[in-house]
């Protein structure tokens, strides 16, 4: 793990400017991946697309308990037992809707909903027209899904930039991540797909003792679909009640990619780290029946 001076991480304006600049200049593959997904529609095994929001919030913008320092936190959802990947931490978002999301995208590009503006808009406009269109489309997708899942208002989000896409291992799906800054503290109103919100301080990723290995084994039923026994890097964190939560898989990699682009942070050497075992059953792909 590369060590940096972490004192600047509490400087809200500096970090937000840094994020917008570095995301604005990083290479993304939205157009190429969407061309692949469209081509897959001619095949029997259709590939799907999903937009997600990696949400950052700064705790210093609201009154805090005495002695608690201001800091950046990631706001993730914990998936309920009713949906696929139950219990996992993830970014809010979901599958692209072929009707609603193209209809909502112009509200963002024309700034009727003021999410995409200032330097983030300037950098987005420097990309080619199709990539800019894809950014707007998946931003509309992710914002709509976030509002449906958590009650987060689109007027409370400031777009900071896009991240490279990520393709899932167990699903024929590509995730298109976008980074959003939550401007104000908000009232969490979950849908049936969400169990709760888990907040992870940005500083947690600079403490090597928080990292571990997630040893994932598939049950016999699931092995009919995918046969994997693998170890994945993970971050061990805790919710507001002190319950242990494991950040792994796609969301872990999306956040680590974000931290590498913005702060040059690498995944540490995981040799001799804590190992956490988990067996995935068939409900991991489907969730429990309603």
Within a domain: residue 3?
A: no
Within a domain: residue 236?
A: yes
Within a domain: residue 119?
A: yes
pLDDT in tens, the chain (290 residues): 554 567 788 889 999 999 999 999 999 999 999 999 988 877 777 889 999 999 999 998 666 555 567 899 999 999 998 898 899 999 999 999 999 999 999 999 999 999 999 999 999 999 999 999 999 999 999 999 999 999 999 999 999 999 999 998 777 899 999 999 999 988 889 899 999 999 999 999 999 999 999 998 876 665 545 556 688 999 999 988 889 999 999 999 999 999 999 999 999 988 878 999 988 888 888 887 55
Per the CB < 8 A criterion, the answer to whether 182 and 56 are in contact is yes
Query: Which domain, by its residues, includes 48?
Result: 11-61+71-284
State both tokens at 2: 């590369």
The DSSP element (H or E) to which 196 belongs, if any, is strand 194-201
Q: SS3 helix, strand, coil % of the chain, rounded to 5?
A: 35, 25, 35
Per the CB < 8 A criterion, the answer to whether 89 and 195 are in contact is no
The region, left, alpha or beta by phi > 0 then psi within -120 to 50, assigned to residue 16 is alpha
Within a domain: residue 2?
A: no
Within a domain: residue 1?
A: no
pTM: 0.92
Closest CA to 226 of 270, 264, 169, 165: 169
Within a domain: residue 289?
A: no
Rounded to whole angstroms, the Cα distance separating 185 from 59 reads 8
Q: DSSP character for 70?
A: P
Hunting for tokens 């609201």 — which residue is that?
62
Within a domain: residue 94?
A: yes
- How many domains does the chain contain in total? 1
- What CATH number did the domain enclosing 94 receive? 3.90.79.10
Within a domain: residue 5?
A: no
């Amino acid at each position: 793990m590369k060590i940096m001076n972490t004192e600047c991480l509490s400087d809200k304006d500096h970090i937000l400017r840094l994020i917008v600049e570095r995301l604005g200049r990083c290479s993304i593959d939205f157009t190429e991946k969407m061309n692949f997904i469209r081509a897959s529609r001619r095949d029997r095994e259709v590939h799907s697309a999903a937009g997600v929001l990696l949400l950052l919030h700064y705790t210093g913008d609201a009154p805090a308990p005495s002695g608690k320092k201001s800091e950046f936190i990631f706001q993730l959802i914990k998936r309920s037992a009713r949906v696929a990947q139950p219990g996992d931490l993830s970014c809010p978002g979901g599958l692209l809707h072929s009707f609603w999301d193209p209809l909502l995208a112009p509200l963002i590009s024309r700034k009727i909903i003021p999410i995409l503006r200032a330097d983030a808009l300037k950098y987005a406009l420097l990309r080619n027209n199709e990539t800019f269109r894809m950014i707007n489309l998946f931003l509309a997708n992710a914002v709509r899904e976030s509002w449906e899942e958590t009650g987060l208002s689109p007027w409370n989000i400031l777009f900071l930039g896009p991240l490279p896409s990520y393709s899932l291992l167990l699903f024929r799906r590509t995730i298109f991540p976008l980074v959003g800054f939550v401007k104000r503290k908000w009232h969490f109103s979950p849908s049936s797909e969400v169990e709760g919100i888990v907040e992870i301080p940005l500083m947690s990723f600079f403490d090597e003792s928080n990292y571990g290995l997630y040893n994932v084994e598939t049950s016999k039923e699931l092995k009919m679909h995918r046969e994997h026994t693998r170890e994945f890097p993970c971050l061990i964190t805790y919710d507001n009640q002190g319950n242990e939560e494991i950040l792994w898989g796609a969301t872990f990699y999306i956040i680590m990619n974000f931290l590498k682009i913005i702060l040059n942070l690498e995944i540490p050497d995981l040799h001799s780290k804590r190992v956490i075992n988990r067996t995935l059953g068939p409900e991991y792909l489907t969730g429990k029946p309603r």
